[in-house]
Amino acid sequence: MGILRVNMNRALKPLRSAAVDFHYLLNRGYPRKPSLELVANRYDLSYDQRHLLHRGVFSDGDAKTRRKKKVPLRALHDRDLAIDGHNVLITIEAALSGRALILSNEGFIRDISGLSGNFRKTEVTERALCLVFDLLKKVMPQHTLFLFDAPISKSGLLAREVRERLREEGLPGDAQALKVPEKVLTDFRGIVATSDTAVIDRSRAVFDLAGYLVKNRINSKSLLKLKT
């Protein structure tokens, strides 16, 4: 990610100013896409900087609504949990690999890698899964359902591996690769682990699983927060 390859202070100075302006426009009801383009062009932001802004800044109304849906770690105990597999793993991998992450003003942590379509399981994925399973064993949900995007290469194999791991660890649960996992996630009656805004907006209760691990287990040095 380019923003991590340049002087951090120099890269963040225009980004912070742009975040304030973008937030101002959103709070006054201006459309998101043209507002982002206007502000990004004004401050001559790079692709990565624009993506950080897009992933990290929302209107106060949207931020308040999403924050209300967030639940703490203890809420997972003895509850049904659905995990947005690729969303969670890619974010954790970004932290483990030192790629840029943004702490949004609604309290969720997101990566800006855009790797979803090109995701491939690596040893970093294994480390990410270990962190997830350590957390599950600590909090013990009633049932854990991992959902992966079937169009992404080898998702079925990844789901099978996770199913076997759940059984080995003695954790009640399942893992599936679905064409559109969002349909199941947004109808889920338990807690959903994701940072995807579309899923958050249509879910009842949300836990930022990746964000929790980034802040409490990984202590990422590449986590950025923009004051608005």
For residue 192, being part of any structural domain is answered with: yes
Q: Which residues contact 21 (CB under 8 A, 6 or more apart)?
A: 39, 42
| 98 and 138 co-located in one domain | yes
As a whole number of angstroms, the distance between CA 123 and CA 129 comes to 10
Indicate whether 81 and 134 sit together in one domain: yes
What band does 113 get if pLDDT is binned at 50, 70 and 90?
Answer: confident
Domain that holds residue 91: 68-225
Look up residue 202 and give its two tokens: 């249509």
Q: Does residue 200 lie within any of the structural domains?
A: yes
**Rounded to whole angstroms, how far apart are CA atoms 134 and 153?**
26
Number of domains in the chain: 2
Mean pLDDT computed over 162-179 = 97
pLDDT at 227 over 70: yes
Residues 103, 18 share a domain? no
State whether 184 and 213 are in the same domain: yes
Same domain, 8 and 99: no
Q: Is 63 domain-assigned? A: no
**pLDDT confidence bin for 14, thresholds 50/70/90:** confident
- Structural domain includes residue 62: no
**What's the whole-model pTM score?**
0.92
Q: Are 94 and 193 found together in one domain? A: yes
Amino acid at 141: P
The answer to the question of residue 81 being in a domain is yes
- What pLDDT, in 10s, does the model give residues 136-156? 999 999 999 999 999 999 999
